[in-house]
Amino acid sequence: MGITITINGHAHAVTASDETPLLYVLRNDAGCKGVRYGCGAGQCGTCMVIIDGKPVQSCDVPVSAVADKSITTIEGIGTEAHPHPLQRAFVEEQAAQCGYCATGIIMSAKALLDANPNADDADIRDALSKNLCRCGTHQRILRAVKRAAAEMRK
């Protein structure tokens, strides 16, 4: 197969087979190591990316399905020098204990706040329902998302 996909605003030629999970192309071919392998079955949210404004578990999507779509990964929202408000809020609230799930949660939260900058607790919980965190920092995560939302509204 020979398609081009857009990752974080840049075109990438893909030579993987049609059914290769997007997760593998992002990590192995595009170098997006912030997109993490979790369960591989679309149930934990660790591999969450934003595709055309919607949070999507990249382990569940064949690369052929994203040929004409815009993909955003954690690498595309901020840098160490200039973190996205969600990234900064996660640090300030100490919302990530082990941190393995954090990139997926941040991407789900970003898609929510982009669509609804005035999200309330119920909206946030609903948006993060596909993301699992075993460390139990759920209250810190909620505080971080609300803190980032307030900053993004300014």
Report the C-alpha gap between 144 and 88 in whole angstroms.
Answer: 9
CATH architecture of 85-153: Orthogonal Bundle (1.10)
Q: What is the pLDDT of residues 16-74, one digit of tens each?
A: 999 999 999 999 999 999 999 999 999 999 999 999 999 999 999 999 999 989 999 99
Helix, strand, coil shares, percent, the chain, to 5 = 40, 15, 45
pLDDT band for position 136 (cuts 50, 70, 90): confident
The reply to whether CATH 3.30.930.10 applies to domain 3-76 is no
pLDDT at 1 over 70: no
Tell me the domain boundaries of the chain: 3-76, 85-153
